[in-house]
Chain A
Amino acid sequence: MEDNVILRVATKILTPYILLFALYVQFHGDYGPGGGFQAGVIFASGFVLYTLIYGLETARLVLPLRVASLCGALGVLIYAGVGIATMILGGEFLDYDYLNSHDAEHGQHLGILLVELGVLTTVFGVMVVIFYSFAGRREAK
């Protein structure tokens, strides 16, 4: 679809705003509908749109499959890492109070922020890997 001018220009303009909106949804999960999973899917959809218009090879130059699957694994490690950190700092697993030694409420904020970041990374990575696997099937045959 690269030779279709309207689609090409619209994608180029829209993609940064899609990614920005994903980050907005991510950080406003406390104050409105949103959070890690929704943000991850919207973030991935920006890349899906880019792949649809510009083709799989170009998209693979922008975001290689290896990086996406790395993101997928990394998010789980971030989430579990936060849990391990709270256990080391003296609390139960995922007891965010202990993340900030002075103020429990700030600890809760930090904890939620980090685990949502982990969720964002994993969901984004997995969605992109799924899309690349399905889209790349025809050329693999």
Chain B
Amino acid sequence: MMSHLPVLQVIVPLLAAPLCALVRHGRTAWAIAVASSWVSLWMAWKIFQLVQADGAISYNLGGWPAPIGIEYKIDALSAFVLIIVTLVGAVVTPYALKSVGREVGTSREALFYAAFLLCLSGLLGIVVTGDMFNVFVFLEISSLSAYALIALGRDRRALTASYQYLIMGSVGATFIVIGIGMLYVMTGSLNMADLAILLPELPSNRTIPVAFAFLSVGVCLKLALFPLHMWLPNAYAYAPSAVTAFIASTATKVAIYMLLRFFFTVFGVHFSFSEMQLGIILLPLSLIAIFSMSLVAIFQTNVKRMLAYSSLAQIGYIILGISFFSNTGLTAGILHLFNHAIIKGSLFMALGCVMYRLNSVELENMRGLGKKMPLTMGAFMVGGFSLIGVPFTAGFVSKWYLIQGAIEKGLWPVALLILMTSLMAVVYIWRVVESVYFSEFDESQNDDCTEAPLGLLLPTWALALLCLYFGINATLTTSGASLAAANLLRIGS
């Protein structure tokens, strides 16, 4: 069974999804979903240990050997991203019972869990596979189920948000297919490791740079890098809380994983950064993303929207680390990928608790909530401090590595900008603090507002405590990230 782990990682949620769709009862579907997400987490942990011990794992689907058949290849980076995706899935699924029951309604609950498991399976498939077209297939599986999940929000603007995400996401996926097609035409292979060998041997032509361009635009659409980010704020703001918590923590991170795979493993560091000058393109875009998105976040009144713009800024940080293409920069980027997923997961789940009691996440409706829902707001504060980068939280560790990477490259203005934008994060977190802790509670509006139920609080605090743990003892995350970074740079160069 251990040798089949790579494929079981993808198949277990994929099998559980139609089971959830067949069962009409919401509770049973929830139980199936929780069981399969926890089994996925266990499998991801086993795979991570195997990869740490023995190096990359390879699995040939259908028994066909590598360049002919589809190969699943899990190396240090894949194992690291597997852990974060399954961790968030395993924490959000128990959370979803009460939250989804309130926001989506019991008639569609079983179908919600089917779509949720399909999304999880698609995301895991992207991370596990070593075949280019297989990446597209799993990308579309996860994207289509994400569009359906987002459209289940109560506000009617969830429908237009999902539609906009559908249009932009499909354009991005089609660009990725065009890029893959051009690579296939020039080399005749779809296997990532095979392409890495074949591409440098090709005589110079125009097709490969064009394929590079199409792939980069498509992937940047999916991970919502600065000019291509318009779908994200609406999609996060109007989706159901559990969906936002899951997708905010996983979908963009897996897209960043795809970017790393395409640029470091398939094209190679030399081609991507020396010939195509990717670092010079990504650096200003990520800086603009960090600065402008933090600025816009300050002026939002809907806290979910504020956190969505904050997510865009954090994605800017991750891409900034990657654009340095040094060992420290890449480690910082991958580390922040992990930390940001945990931070945003806990923040959005805390907001889901607020939504459960108040039916609103507007700043003015959340006044004085610090006294009524102390535990929920405490988890929110832990996440908020982590977002700013206060010492002893996870965000501090990744910002530390990021600044170190900037200084190593001699980019002092960038390091100063990172510090300045952390201060901007203080501003928008302070707006929430001011409303929640330093304002009076409006008794006339909500008189039965008590602490959130335990089923919602426990997963929220699980991730919040992980924020604190990985800020105090970051050896696990930093060792995983630096191993992944070293692996990428070694394969590429």
Contact = CB atoms under 8 A, between A and B. Distances in A.
Interface of A: 69-70, 72-74, 76-77, 80, 83-84, 87, 91-97
11 contacts: A73-B21, A76-B15, A76-B17, A77-B15, A77-B18, A80-B14, A83-B11, A84-B11, A84-B15, A95-B62, A95-B63
Given A80-B14, A80-B15, A84-B11, A94 B61 contact: yes
Nearest to B60: A92
Q: Is the interface of A mostly helix, strand, loop or mixed?
A: helix
A49 B63 CA distance: 42
Contacts of A92: 4, 7, 59-63
Interface string B52-75: 000000011111000000000000
Contacts of B62: 92-96
A92 B70 CA distance: 12
Contacts of B15: 76-77, 80, 84
Interface string B107-120: 00000000000000
Contacts of B21: 69, 72-73
A80 B18 CA distance: 11
Q: Is the interface of B mostly helix, strand, loop or mixed?
A: helix
B280 interface: no
Contacts of B18: 72-74, 76-77
Interface residues of B, number: 15
B14 to A, nearest CB: 6
Contacts of B11: 80, 83-84, 93
B43 to A, nearest CB: 14
A76 B118 CA distance: 12
Interface in B335-367: none
B22 A97 contact: no
A97 B63 contact: yes
Nearest to A78: B18
B39 to A, nearest CB: 14
Interface centre among A69, A76, A92, A95 (most CB of B within 10 A): A92
A95 B64 CA distance: 8
A78 to B, nearest CB: 10
B22 A93 contact: no
A92 B66 CA distance: 13
Contacts of A77: 15, 18-19
Contacts of B60: 92
Contacts of A74: 18, 22
Given A76-B18, A83-B7, 13 more contacts: A69-B21, A72-B21, A73-B19, A73-B22, A76-B17, A77-B18, A80-B11, A80-B14, A80-B15, A84-B15, A92-B4, A94-B61, A96-B62
Nearest to A83: B11
Contacts of A84: 11, 15
A93 to B, nearest CB: 4
